[in-house]
Amino acid sequence: MVRLLLSLLPLTVLFPAFFTVAQDIGGPGPVTQAVMERGKLVCGANAQLVGFGAVNSSGQYQGFDIDICRAVAAAVLGDANAVAFRPLVGTERQAALQGGEIDMMSRNTTWTLSRDAVWGAIFGPTTFYDGQGIGTRVGYGISTIEGLDGGSICVGQGSTTELNISDAVATRGLEITVLTFPDAFSTWQAYLDGRCDAWTSDKSALLARHATAPDPAAHVLLDITLSKEPLGPLSPQSDPQFAEIIAWTVYGLFTAEEHGITSANVDDFLDSDNPGIQRLLGQSGNASGSYLGIANGFMVEVIRQVGNYGEIFERNLGVPPFNLERGINALWTDGGLLYAPPFR
Ligand SMILES: N[C@@H](CCC(=O)N[C@@H](CS)C(=O)NCC(=O)O)C(=O)O
């Protein structure tokens, strides 16, 4: 063995780049393999939340979470359009993941202990740091959660939201009737129909719904955050290698923004002499995707076809009618929480 290694030594000296690239993690896991054979990624998505995941007027899925699915398809298959979206309401998520109906999910889904353990999920990096809020009509004159005492609040079933609002009401000793609905659309509709004095969800969802309401200025968020809601992609525990691909695709989106690499200028960076950029893009013999069993330059296709994190955020959420601020979803270098480990 030692003799064999010694005899290989001159080769590693002569061709270090080859040996770096060849150190991959082995064959693809079962989910990656299925995606590759099918030539399509099946991504569980929201079809009802404009800005994050919704079907647009031309019948295409569009939104921040949708672009995360597309980025993973570009990473694994080299084609951001090779995605079949599977619409999921909140209560369908666990079964879709456990039944193998989807390869991954990117659908305003909060990372929690029980979802890790009971759903059998591996959560990827958080793509949107959120918190639960309460929305109400300006005309109702309610400005605090205590102002809802004796009233009612609408909430969607099968969500962290449903659990958090019960805690928030109980710990404050309030008498608020919590009305639950099977999906996001019926929850919002019930509130609009005046069946509840307020409604509660992730703040991003409240803002997105208010912004696209017939009368956006008629709705307001109370100045309260009831919980932490780290939203991000997830995949089945059966394939940790696929989970690594999702994780490093998201980290690659953060890192591309850090370096100022965009869909418009990525080609200018292919011969960059910055070693960090070479590693991100898998250029100059540096290993990148080969560690994950996918194309070494996977991030080139991801950035070229989908853009960096900042582009994804701005295109879907930074524009009217949402005009969302980056807030804590800024890069760590700008005082936010987005921080990727090194591509090395
Ligand atoms: N992030 C939360 C909530 C996700 C969610 O989809 N909530 C639905 C109810 S099931 C909702 O009402 N969303 C607001 C909307 O889409 O307007 C979770 O993972 O449970």
Q: Which two tokens stand for residue 61?
A: 């899925």
Cα 343 to the center of its chain, rounded Å: 20
Q: Is 108 in the pocket of ligand 1 (CB under 6 A)?
A: yes
For domain 2-129+231-334, say whether CATH 3.40.50.360 is its number. Answer: no
Distance 107 CA to ligand 1 centre (A): 9
Q: Would you write out the chain's pLDDT as a tens digit for each of its 344 residues? A: 444 444 444 444 444 433 333 344 567 899 999 999 999 999 999 999 999 999 999 999 999 999 999 999 999 999 999 999 999 999 999 999 999 999 999 999 999 999 999 999 999 999 999 999 999 999 999 999 999 999 999 999 999 999 999 999 999 999 999 999 999 999 999 999 999 999 999 999 999 999 999 999 999 999 999 999 999 999 999 999 999 999 999 999 999 999 999 999 999 999 999 999 999 999 999 999 999 999 999 999 999 999 999 999 999 999 999 999 999 999 999 999 999 999 99
Q: Is 209 in the pocket of ligand 1 (CB under 6 A)?
A: yes
Q: Which two tokens stand for residue 147?
A: 């102002």
Domain residue extents for the chain:
2-129+231-334, 132-227
Instruction: Read off the pTM.
Output: 0.92
Contact between 302 and 291 under an 8 Å Cβ cutoff? The reply is no
Atom 15 in ligand 1: residue holding the nearest Cα: 184
Query: 132-227: what fold?
Result: D-Maltodextrin-Binding Protein; domain 2 (3.40.190)
Q: Is 210 in the pocket of ligand 1 (CB under 6 A)?
A: no
Closest atom of ligand 1 to 110 CA is: 19
Strand order from edge to edge, sheet including 219-221: 177-181, 152-156, 198-202, 132-137, 219-221
Q: Is 110 in the pocket of ligand 1 (CB under 6 A)?
A: yes
By three-state DSSP, how is residue 235 classified?
Answer: strand
Closest atom of ligand 1 to 107 CA is: 6
Closest atom of ligand 1 to 90 CA is: 10
* pLDDT at 321 (0 to 100): 94
**Domain 2-129+231-334 shares a fold with domain 132-227:** yes
* pLDDT at 27 (0 to 100): 73
Q: Is 246 in the pocket of ligand 1 (CB under 6 A)?
A: no
Element (H, E) at 304: helix 298-306
